[in-house]
Amino acid sequence: MTRHLTVLGAGAWGTALAISAARQGVAVQLWARDGAQVAEMQAQRRNVRYLPEAAFPDSLALTPDFDAAVAHAHGNGGLVIVGTPMAALADILQRLPEQVATLWLCKGFEKGTGRLGHEIARAVRPQARSGVLSGPSFAKEVALGQPTALVAASTDTALAEQAVDVFHSDSLRVYTSNDPVGVEVGGAVKNVLAIATGIADGMDLGLNARAALITRGLAEMTRLGVALGARADTFMGLSGLGDLVLTSTGALSRNRTVGLQLATGKPLAQILQELGHVAEGVYSAATVWQRARTLGVAMPITEAVVAVLDGRLSPAEAVGALMRREAKAEG
């Protein structure tokens, strides 16, 4: 029986997963709202804008028709993947029928509301089967078939297993988790911490500083997650430690790149314009910090990143403020 998958959003990550699934013989439809982009991808048989290196398999179809894309999966008992940025998640979920099984890829807290993806889904589609697909992954490497491991998290075990059935392959391992809260917190906070690590590396503070930031950043991530109802052990897995290490150290990391550039004194607006892609950590940092403050969770590294992004502290001043903090027991 042919497996069916619809991916809503033709950015780098949505396109990469569409390519990966299509290589395994899954009947994939990739939706983009821009008809001109769809026509270009159809003509080139690749996403020239985001992943020019990766050709589309024959079983990957494209469409600008939202309803037709959803029907492709829903009418065949398939899976819908939402590959839009966090800012568009609520709108996309509201357009989907309650019966459609859905996983999203976006990582972060919704700006303004501070909601995570599962909180958005609970508000707009309370009866729907939903979850998140996350983990340490650069889109380019997945599109090229390089070894990668992800985690599909949902309180609906059958839905997580369905993601395994669609995506698991010789190059892409998919694990399951029943802790979507922990998986989402890890995916959201690591982007902010990667900016911090990029700043430290851009200032040439050394490998000791990098290790300290990643380790203490993991502690911050775990504290916030537990306060939000996650399990502490989730943060030692792919979506916690795994994604944090990759995003903080990998050359393909957009959030790390922002930090590296901030360390040179370049204005944030210029950095984002030159980047040309979404760096979720920039947009979610203040929301992460606000959510932590509301819960009484200490997140000094996150607080320092927010101060740098807001222009209240220079990178050097932020590092100084962190190092001058009162000594304490590790934890």
- Report, as ranges of residue numbers, the positions in the chain whose pLDDT lies below 70: 1-2
Residue listed under structure tokens 């699934």: 21
Q: Where are the domains of the chain?
A: 4-178, 188-323
H or E element at residue 62? strand 60-63
H or E element at residue 309? helix 300-309
Is the separation of the CB atoms in 46 and 54 below 8 Å? yes
Is the separation of the CB atoms in 80 and 6 below 8 Å? yes
Q: What is the CA radius of gyration of the chain?
A: 19
- pLDDT of the residue at 312: 96
Residues found in the chain? 331
- pLDDT of the residue at 1: 60
Q: Which CATH topology does 188-323 take?
A: N-(1-d-carboxylethyl)-l-norvaline Dehydrogenase; domain 2 (1.10.1040)
- pLDDT of the residue at 328: 84
Alpha carbon 15 to its chain centroid, in Å, reads 14
**Mapping DSSP to helix (H, G, I), strand (E, B) and coil, where does residue 76 land?**
coil
CA distance 158 to 166: 12
Give the residue among 260, 57, 66 at the shortest CA–CA distance from 143.
57
At residue 262, what is the residue type? L
Helices (H), 203-299: 207-227, 243-249, 254-262, 268-275, 280-295
Can you say whether the dihedral through the CA atoms of 159, 163, 165, 166 is positive or negative? positive
Please enumerate in sequence order all residues whose Cβ is within 8 A of that of 197, keeping only pairs 6 or more positions apart, or say none: 210, 213, 214, 217, 248, 249, 256, 259
Q: Is 190 a catalytic residue?
A: yes
At residue 150, what is the residue type? L
Catalytic residue, from 107, 190, 266, 328: name it: 190
H or E element at residue 152? strand 148-153
Give the residue among 99, 62, 58, 56 at the shortest CA–CA distance from 78.
99
Is the separation of the CB atoms in 300 and 322 below 8 Å? yes
- pLDDT of the residue at 5: 98
Is the separation of the CB atoms in 210 and 152 below 8 Å? no
CATH topology agreement for domains 4-178 and 188-323: no
Taking all residues of the chain, what is their mean pLDDT, rounded to a whole number?
95
Beta bridge partners of 149: 173
Q: Residue 110 has which token pair?
A: 């919704």
H or E element at residue 195? helix 180-202
Residue 241 DSSP class: I
Question: Considering the domain 4-178, what is its CATH architecture?
Answer: 3-Layer(aba) Sandwich (3.40)
Phi, then psi, of 153 in degrees rounded to 5: -115, 130
pTM of the model: 0.94
Burial grade of 246 (CB within 10 A; 0-12, 13-18, 19 or more): buried
